[in-house]
A = this chain, B = another copy of it.
Amino acid sequence: MDQKDEMDDKGVSRRQMLIGTGAVAAGAALAQFGGLLKSAEAAGGSTEKWPWPYEKLDPAVTAEICYNEWYRVFCGCAVINSVFSQLREKVGEPYKSFPSDAFVFLEGGQVGWGTICGSPAGANIVANLIIGPRIAGATAGHEISADTMQWYSEAKMPVFTPKTPKQPTAIITTVSDSPLCHISVGKWMKASGFALASPERKDRCARVAASTAYQLVEYLNDWKDGKYKSTGDFTCSKEFGITGQYNCNDCHGDKVPEAPQVKKS
């Protein structure tokens, strides 16, 4: 399940493949494209306090819950529920009051529009609900989001195999190089030959969700133990002056535009 070695190796090779503009900053860090402003007069809820109480979970148990839950609520909501259903039992509030099922719409990259895969989108929601936003002073939720998307992009998906697969045939794995649903599922469909509506594709996505839930719980458990360190090595705004992924050539070919630079005054 540990993808860290593969991440590091791929980190080098994909960096060599990049065509881009500005200086490549070493190391990741907090993405600071927006600036950081705090306000005493927050419009947020008055009950917002972080971090939420968290108890360590079993990654494999969580992944099994997520796999089965996918068939009820699909990728993003399955990831959220796989963690929160356990914390409702172990901790109670505020997990009990959180309306998880509203997040079914994360399916298919948000109601089928193929943007961010619901699995990392759901994981990002969980990490930031538990740890809190960077404007509240905690950066680990932000960093776990970046790490999750990079891990997702570089993993041979699906990583996790459920105990009782609904599709027992051997499953092809693919590397998406992107957290986008369209690219992730598209590369897998191309490699496997299975259609979007096929039971095999659905089972692949259920396993991708389960794989992401597994990884998320590993991050959260490390964070709970005070051991979490961001493994991400990519911040597009710093390296290329635009928000984005690292797979520039996938869409731009060899004609990657240069982002406008800040004018020196």
Task: Assess the B261–A195 pair: CB atoms within 8 A.
Answer: yes
Tell me the A86-114 residues at the B interface (CB within 8 Å): 88, 94-105, 107-114
What is the distance, in angstroms, from A142's C-beta to the closest C-beta of chain B?
5
Residues of chain B within 8 A (CB-CB) of A98 are: 45, 99
Contact residues on A (Cβ < 8 Å of other chain), bracket: 35 or more
Give the distance to chain B from A256, nearest Cβ to Cβ, in Å.
Answer: 11
Of the residues B43, B142, B243, contact of A81 by C-beta under 8 Å: B43
Of A48, A97, A133, A235, chain B has the most CB atoms within 10 Å of the CB of A133
Q: How far is the CB of A139 from chain B (nearest CB, A)?
A: 10
- Name the distance in Å between A78's Cβ and chain B's nearest Cβ: 8
Cross-chain contact A111 with B124 (CB below 8 angstroms): yes
Which B residues are in CB contact (< 8 Å) with A113?
A: 116, 146, 149, 179, 236, 243-245
Q: Give the distance in Å from the alpha carbon of A45 to the alpha carbon of B89 in the complex.
A: 11
Tell yes or no: A19 within 8 A of B by CB. Answer: no
B31, B69, B109, B182: the one contacting A43 at CB < 8 Å is B69
Interface presence of A39 (CB below 8 A):
yes
- Is A250 close to B, CB under 8 A? yes
Per-residue B-contact encoding for A238-265, CB less than 8 Å = 1, 0 else: 0001111100001101000101111100
* Alpha-carbon distance between A222 and B127 when the two chains are bound, in angstroms: 34
A257–B182 alpha-carbon span in the complex (Å): 12
Q: Is the CB of A242 within 8 A of B114?
A: yes
Is A105 a contact partner of B141 (Cβ separation < 8 A)?
yes
Give the complex CA separation of A115 and B98 in angstroms: 25
Report whether A242 and B74 are in contact in the complex, using a CB–CB cutoff of 8 Å. Answer: no
- What separation, in Å, do the CA atoms of A179 and B181 have in the docked complex? 13
CA distance A46 to B84 in the complex (A): 12
Question: CA–CA, A133 to B257, complex, Å?
Answer: 39
Of residues A97, A103, A129, A257, which shows the largest number of chain B Cβ atoms within 10 Å of its Cβ?
Answer: A97
- CB of A262 within 8 A of CB of B149, answer no
